[in-house]
Structure 1
Amino acid sequence: MTRDRFSYLAPWWLPGGNAQTIWAARAARRHFGPAPRWQRSRWDTPDGDFIDVDEALHASAPQAPLLVLFHGLEGSSASQYAVAFADFAAAHGLAYAVPHFRGCSGEINHAPRAYHSGDFSEIDWILRRFAHENPSRPLLAVGVSLGGNALMRWAGEMEQSATQLVCAIAAVSSPLDLAAGGYAIGRGFNRVVYTRMFMGTMVPKALQKLEQHPGLFKREALLAARDLYEFDNLFTAPLHGFRDTVDYWTRASAKPVLHRIRVPALALNARNDPFVPAASLPTLQDAGPSVTLWQPAHGGHVGFPVSHGPFGLPGHVRAMPEAVGNWLLAQL
């Protein structure tokens, strides 16, 4: 088990976690090769619902590894990190796929549920289907933010049996202590910028869900919700079997099960991540012998932009996928 092996230095013109987060998401270069092209498939879920899976169309050898990316809150295959990992996969000859959590592919799902940070059973059946459909390919998985917590929670729950499905996993900028992250995003600048951004898509989708399933929750109460704590209390927690937000954040967090992980696992968290307080990050004592911790001082939330081109602009976000992807490949 190691720590601080990701050597990252933020560009001088992007001081602080918020700048590094926002630039990476809005303005940084995402790929050096051609933009990824996708083939979409619809998978029926075990409970009669569906998810949409985007598979990159670049060439890969029949026995090359398959890299599966689980996106973050309200993310998709169009998110900057998903595109950057697609660029890494194409450059290294890897097959690459992005399964969308329910309701995140551009079409609302059918069931009276959505997705959540601790949905390890969803991770399990997705990975099992990838393994079944790609028996000649070693399977690698990376989860970003919410997707990383769910992936690490899966590995902790599965323990040794996870090694039968995947060769290695990684979590990037994941709030492994959901309560710490949830409270942090509901305060100050985070509340004004990030909470408003997430609520701007989550609330309309929840209202669509109410149209599908009248009586699922109280519309007026949801419209009055002003942060993720209130939203999770009214929507996420009760729809997915949790008593309330506190119960959800406690039971869904991956940090308490890190010591049970047996597959090679990497957790990368910048210590200036505005969503994930540094004091909440796992320590060597929290993580088991299979878990590697990278906790650089800078990077923001899924940021890690790097200077590139004349005068250090416009900057790119390939450094993080390169480091994480090469770590995953080194575990094969």
Structure 2
Amino acid sequence: MPLLTSSYRPPRGFANGYVQSIYPTLFRNLDLPGLKRERLELDDGDFLDLDWSLCREGRTSSLVIVSHGLEGHSRRPYVLGTLRQANREGLDALAWNFRSCSGEPNRLPRMYHSGATDDLHRVVCHALQQGYQRVHLVGFSMGGNLSLLYAGRDAHMPQAVASVSGFSVPCDLKGSANQLAGRRNRIFMWRFLRDLRVKVEQKAQRFPDRVSADGYPQIRTFRQFDDRYTAPLHGFKDALDYWQQSSCLSYLSQLKIPALLVNADNDPFLSAACYPRAMARQHDYLHLEVPDSGGHVGFIERSTDQTYWMEKRALAFVKQVDG
């Protein structure tokens, strides 16, 4: 399949990848009235908080399920923008919060991680029990990796999952971790580790035999964090084992449903391996789109209602698949 030519063009003054990555966090504000929060109780004693955005009374035949990024949640502007766009296209939508990301700590020692497709599977199965005939997965950053990994790796994925889209996806977790460890990304790394510290300290208080926050300020990279916390809490040998098993790049070749991967060429978080051009050229299902600009979960557009290009692109792909 040929690589897709992107229609995205940044507004004047927004071509820089760092500007694209930072600006929405500081200046984009969205509200979506009518969200309905549901707590999904899990078979392991934990829970996931889901936010539903229904476009009309009753159920539509297709549902869009949105997965947020690292240290994100279902009320982030890019998530709300996607829910809103789905409703505008006549589709119901659901955004789910990873464990510990809804504003309330989860109950178990485990948290969330890039390979936790079991939780996405729980959400998909719960959604299908509500009567939807088709499900379309849309993920951003870590949520994009999770969605593509699920579609490529999990043999038990229901046949009702009709498509998957990922934006700003760290397909190669090791390479992306190395990118974020660089000097130019120090502010992003600091912010992620600052936010994760809150969750680590909560776990240390509730499970002192499993988690310790002692010495946390000495952690400077994801390799250090994943070696100390992610790997032991989730059954991996170490950070390298976690990254290898949880990178969707290893499973893209196994995709059997239409998949859209959109990674901006100037994304400061992504390594060269996150642009699988050669694979896409030979793949029947993988559509790779590499805009020159866009940054990380940026793709800014000027509009009166703060609609961004990536949300319109995601729903255009969903509608194309739905026919």
- TM-score, normalisation: structure 1: 0.91
Match of 1:149 in 2: 145
Counterpart code for 1:325 = L
Corresponding residue to 1:76 among 70, 73, 76: 73
Corresponding residue to 1:262 among 253, 256, 264: 256
Report the alpha carbon displacement of residue 60 of structure 1 after superposing the two structures with TM. Answer: 5.6
Q: Is the 8 A contact 2:55 2:88 kept in 1?
A: no
Q: Is the 8 A contact 2:231 2:237 kept in 1?
A: yes
Secondary structure (helix, strand or coil) at the match of 1:35 reads: coil
Report the alpha carbon displacement of residue 228 of structure 1 after superposing the two structures with TM. Answer: 1.9
- Output aligned runs, 1:115-130, within 5 Å: 115-130=112-127
Match of 1:169 in 2: 164
Match of 2:321 in 1: 331
CA distance in 1, matches of 2:49, 2:251: 29
Q: Does 1:283 align with 2:260?
A: no
Match of 2:232 in 1: 238
Counterpart code for 2:17 = G
Counterpart code for 1:47 = D
Deviates more, 1:34-43 or 1:86-95: 34-43
CA distance in 1, matches of 2:273, 2:248: 16
Cα deviation digits, residues 229-257 of structure 1 (max 9, x gap):
21111111111111111111111101011
Match of 1:252 in 2: 246
Q: Is the 8 A contact 1:21 1:301 kept in 2?
A: yes
Corresponding residue to 1:56 among 43, 46, 53: 53
Q: Is the 8 A contact 1:4 1:296 kept in 2?
A: no
CA distance in 2, matches of 1:126, 1:268: 24
Match of 2:18 in 1: 18
Q: Does 1:222 align with 2:216?
A: yes
CA distance in 2, matches of 1:45, 1:26: 35
- With over 3 angstroms needed to count, the CA separation of the structure-2 counterparts of 1:3 and 1:21, relative to structure 1, is same
Q: Is the 8 A contact 2:17 2:267 kept in 1?
A: yes
- Output aligned runs, 1:100-119, within 5 Å: 100-119=97-116
- With over 3 angstroms needed to count, the CA separation of the structure-2 counterparts of 1:48 and 1:279, relative to structure 1, is closer
Cα deviation digits, residues 78-105 of structure 1 (max 9, x gap):
2121011022022112111111100000
Counterpart code for 2:292 = A
Report the alpha carbon displacement of residue 285 of structure 1 after superposing the two structures with TM. Answer: 2.2
Report the alpha carbon displacement of residue 39 of structure 1 after superposing the two structures with TM. Answer: 1.0
Counterpart code for 1:90 = N
Q: Is the 8 A contact 1:70 1:144 kept in 2?
A: yes
Deviates more, 1:226-235 or 1:168-177: 226-235
Q: Is the 8 A contact 1:36 1:87 kept in 2?
A: no
Match of 2:184 in 1: 189
Match of 2:128 in 1: 131
CA distance in 2, matches of 1:177, 1:279: 6
Counterpart code for 2:179 = A
CA distance in 2, matches of 1:164, 1:36: 32
Report the alpha carbon displacement of residue 120 of structure 1 after superposing the two structures with TM. Answer: 1.6
Match of 2:299 in 1: 304
Cα deviation digits, residues 233-287 of structure 1 (max 9, x gap):
1111111111111111111101011010101111111011111134542123267
- With over 3 angstroms needed to count, the CA separation of the structure-2 counterparts of 1:15 and 1:73, relative to structure 1, is same
CA distance in 1, matches of 2:159, 2:152: 14
Corresponding residue to 2:93 among 74, 96, 121: 96
Cα deviation digits, residues 114-141 of structure 1 (max 9, x gap):
00001122222221111122x2442111
Structure 1 unaligned regions, length at least 5: 310-314
- With over 3 angstroms needed to count, the CA separation of the structure-2 counterparts of 1:319 and 1:29, relative to structure 1, is farther
Report the alpha carbon displacement of residue 5 of structure 1 after superposing the two structures with TM. Answer: 3.1
CA distance in 2, matches of 1:60, 1:17: 41
- With over 3 angstroms needed to count, the CA separation of the structure-2 counterparts of 1:317 and 1:181, relative to structure 1, is farther
The aligned length equals 321
CA distance in 2, matches of 1:272, 1:247: 28
CA distance in 2, matches of 1:109, 1:166: 27
Cα deviation digits, residues 133-153 of structure 1 (max 9, x gap):
2x2442111111111111111
Cα deviation digits, residues 174-195 of structure 1 (max 9, x gap):
100001111111111312x111
Match of 2:290 in 1: 295
- RMSD of aligned C-alpha atoms? 1.9
Match of 1:3 in 2: 3
Q: Is the 8 A contact 1:77 1:83 kept in 2?
A: yes
- TM-score, normalisation: structure 2: 0.93
Q: Is the 8 A contact 1:303 1:317 kept in 2?
A: no
Q: What is the percent sequence identity of the aligned residues? A: 31
Report the alpha carbon displacement of residue 304 of structure 1 after superposing the two structures with TM. Answer: 0.3
